[in-house]
Structure 1
């Protein structure tokens, strides 16, 4: 069974629309994402942009795992907050 290069490439890299959708789901702006990732905002803004030679600057492959970890961290903070607020006070 053969997998087309195009199909394989699509699974390796996050599309710009997927990136923006994930940010929207996580209620993050591109500026907030840039601050979390400690990268310049213009870099993030450039993802998905078409250059003069008609190539599109791809979303880097580290972004998807980074977003997944951020989701987990957020869920853990929510859980921790619930546990801490349910503890009896002295």
Structure 2
């Protein structure tokens, strides 16, 4: 039986490069849509961004394949960018 090919490098690449950037974009999109004062929104962004980056990196590492990790990060980044553009 042939050994299954594991895409560990692709998942690690997504966790290091794409997932933290997508998490920052998601945090900025959250700040853009919150109905609060500007200083409260930015305080919340500072408090949320680091755990969001860690969560995104962990989820990228737990993905079944490297392609899923990259696509997941790309989807989050695209939706966040669309929210930022539309607000």
Q: Report the TM-score when normalising by structure 1.
A: 0.36
User: Which structure's relative contact order is higher, taking Cα pairs within 8 Å and 6+ residues apart?
Assistant: 2
Greater percentage in helix: 2
Which structure has the greater CA radius of gyration? Answer: 1
